[in-house]
Amino acid sequence: MSISTESEIFIASLKHALANRESVFDAIDGAKLASILIPLQFHDSKWNVILNVRSQHVSLHQGEIAFPGGKLEDDDENMFSCALRETWEEMGISPNTVDVLGNLDGVLTRTNYLVFPVVGVIPHPYEFDTKSKEVEEIIEIPLHSLMDDEVLRYEARLNPDGSLLKRVAFAHEKYLVFGATAWILSQFVEIVKSMNYIRPLQEIK
């Protein structure tokens, strides 16, 4: 199977999986709306998830790993356009170069943002623009590595009522993906697993 055919099959399968599930994004009183993009790239015979490391100049989550995104603005047509605009502003990824495949369920963050995750494919190679003060570094994580239980970590937090909240996190090289980004990533990985995605031989080596 050629690389182009392999990637096309994956894209079609993922788009079908996202379209044929009951997505949950219910408004929550008092929650602020935001949207993020999960950018995917195919190169060197494998799929990669693109994230960024937030700079020390942002007001929240300095140094944490995140997807490009931000709050819904009045000029945004919908949650999809919000994700694409924020991705353009933070990473220089032009909206017309993103093949939007669908969306995941909404995620409520500890800072009371209801986040709408959008999934999209970008071409490779791509000349990212990180002149934004929000992004310190762009990283990519092979999708197949996220499906390996060895990268799983867990964070525990106390709820206001004293109960323990256990959430998944992902370790990759020197990086730790945790918080809302990890919750969104976990949801995405589970959808890919439901597709019975088989890693190419090049990825298994």
Cis (ω within 30 of 0) for the bond into 125?
yes
Q: Which of 63-67, 149-153, 159-163, 167-171 has the lowest mean pLDDT?
A: 159-163
Q: Which of 9-18, 123-132, 148-157, 192-201 has the lowest mean pLDDT?
A: 192-201
Residue 151: pLDDT above 70? yes
Band of residue 119 on the pLDDT scale cut at 50, 70, 90: very high
Band of residue 41 on the pLDDT scale cut at 50, 70, 90: very high
Average confidence (pLDDT) over 74-101 = 96
How far, in Å, CA of 66 to CA of 138, rounded? 10
Give me the pLDDT at residue 58, please: 67
Pick the CATH number of 3-144 from 2.60.40.10, 3.40.50.720, 3.30.70.360, 3.90.79.10: 3.90.79.10
How far, in Å, CA of 199 to CA of 145, rounded? 10
How far, in Å, CA of 37 to CA of 39, rounded? 6
State the pTM of this model.
0.89
